[in-house]
A and B are shown apart, each in its own frame.
Chain A
Amino acid sequence: MSRHDVVVVGAGMAGLTAAVRLAEGGATVLVLAKGVGATHLSPATIDVLGYAPDRVDRPLEALAAFAERHPGHPYGVVGAAGVAAAVPWFAERFADGPLAPYAYTGTADENLLLPTAVGVLRPSAVVPETMAGGDLRDGGEVCVVGFRALKDFHPRLAADNLSRHPGVTARGIELDCVPEGRVDVNALGFARAFDDAAFRKDVVARVAGRLHAEERVAFPAVLGIADPHAVWSELQDRLGRPVFEIPTLPPSVPGMRVFATLRERLRRAGSRVVLNNVVTGAEHRGGTVTGVRARVGLRDVVHGADWVVLATGGFASGGVELDSRWAGREVALGLPVAGIPAPGEERFGPAYFGEHPMARAGVAVDADQRPVGADGARVFDNVLVAGATLAGAEPWREKSGEGISLATGHRAAGLILDAAGSAQRSAVAATEG
């Protein structure tokens, strides 16, 4: 049995955040995951709070009142201070990360309004530098450039919808350039092409003469995977105006940049992610977990741990399941699931984008992110829960998903480092005394 200070279960935003902070804080960390997490599917903007239920302009200010109105919400656990601490920490990971000088910009104090791929303006707080130029709070003229070969990104559709926002004038143009030798190309294929100077030159040549004087230029978020800062800067220089990325449907290139950065930080700190480990339960003595059981191929193994961070995601990622009798189950450690509407109560609302009480189901935690049962008592003393596994949020409606994952993952790591540090200090004091 291997032994680690911390086993983190899940390799999405919350799990990687917790793991990196722990490893950089000196802990030995093992990240176990069934597969790669949702970073690859995420626009990779840090949405802290977008709607509550009206659009939020200043998320950090709005957090306290929001948490008060939503008892049991993860933001009530981490507080505005938890968010305020996590955001700069995240941005700093990029500063000397593998993709530097690619950077994040913005603060949790105010939301930008960035276009989606269908031309809706979405509030988001902290974003890749390559997206910040798309902030249309004050309106503006936008030329959305797309590629015929890139599925699911339609510049004219995005532009038509953008033009419906007051103060925004947008038009779309579609280019016919295909990365060399390719037939069916996804976002990553285009990102690799953009890493190539010849492809960039071709794109610039096709766009440059067609722009109006005041227009800024939007591209799908495919501006480079190896060195996105260089690609984006060069396009701005050559086109002589702001250029920005609009997130695409999966695979998300900006999400892959987050994954690459956090995974590399983790590796440098001496820890790693091990995939194809499906965690199936906890070994425990009373309320203390001593290790996690995992299924690896056809074999079962136990990974010993002093601490466990559970960050397997919610219903969408399979971290939480619902059976045909409406009983919820947290799949990795078998923790109780809270918030499942009782028989007779409303489970789903009639509107797709409306309120769905079921979405708030998840693992309930106490103030220290320990899982609790229906009676409010802790299930395990050394398990902390982070990210979309947590009960109480409706991240799609609130536009709070990454903010919750980042803040709860960051804080879980901090709580463990503090506890381990004070245990060490009392051990030292005991020896000295």
Chain B
Amino acid sequence: MKSADFAYHRPGDIAEAVRHLQDYDGGARVLAGGQSLMPMMNMRLWRPDAVVDINGLTDLAELTAEGDETRIGALVRYSTLEFSPLVAERLPLLKAMVAFVGDRQVRNRGTIGGSLVQGDPTGEMPLGCLVLGATVSVLGPSGAHTIAMEDLYEGAYTATLAPDEVLTEVRVPPHPPHFAFRECCRRHNDFCVLSVAATGRMADDGRWRGLRIGLGGVNDTPVLAEASMALLEGSRLDDADIAAAGGAALRAIDPPDDIRGSAEYRAHLVPIYVARVLRDLRASAQAAAR
């Protein structure tokens, strides 16, 4: 199908982009990589009055290290994350996860900011940024502010940005030394049935600190498995710890029934995938200790 008609704006700077969004009073959408917005417009699931194309705003496409923090401009494309030495060194979880996004053409065009604002419950970037404790910078008519990933969504496909705000940057704190990621897909590169990402640090005494586990596809939004994380604080990640954490992860979920799997099936998979990811995490630390 073809998109309905709309007005097209290509602002020269971010302030102009915000002004255009304001002018349409909620009727305009930001066009970044277009890998979600364009299909929705072509299928007429969206009929925005106007499209504000931010692809010319090259200062949003920067990827920089600032002290401990890594800053990813909203317009940084998946393929840039995939091949960037900076991301490989500083954000290996994100590098591992980005390979699961779409296909080559989608990764050449889609952006991290677009993915975060789209807020697909199965999206890899929202889950990765949540587990890494990232915050996003947002610019609107009343100025700039930041939103923690934990507060970015109020539901599926529903970011808490106002319609006249633009996500400009993702700020990621230092990455823990160990990470693991797995997802379950019915078809290669499809939206996942569920995904699990974890990071953590094993102290010199062999006990794990600050372990974070995130779940995708099993709730309206990506969620942290907080009960599991609390159970594992200070543990040695032995088999009994892992089994208990897998079970506790069920407290974080409210899975959907859809074409990719029933809620029951997803609930069945959650402890299994959480346990696998935690064993991967433990193996990563053991390999590093050798």
A in complex with B: no
A contact set with B: CB distance below 8 Å: none
Chain B residues close to A by CB (< 8 Å): none
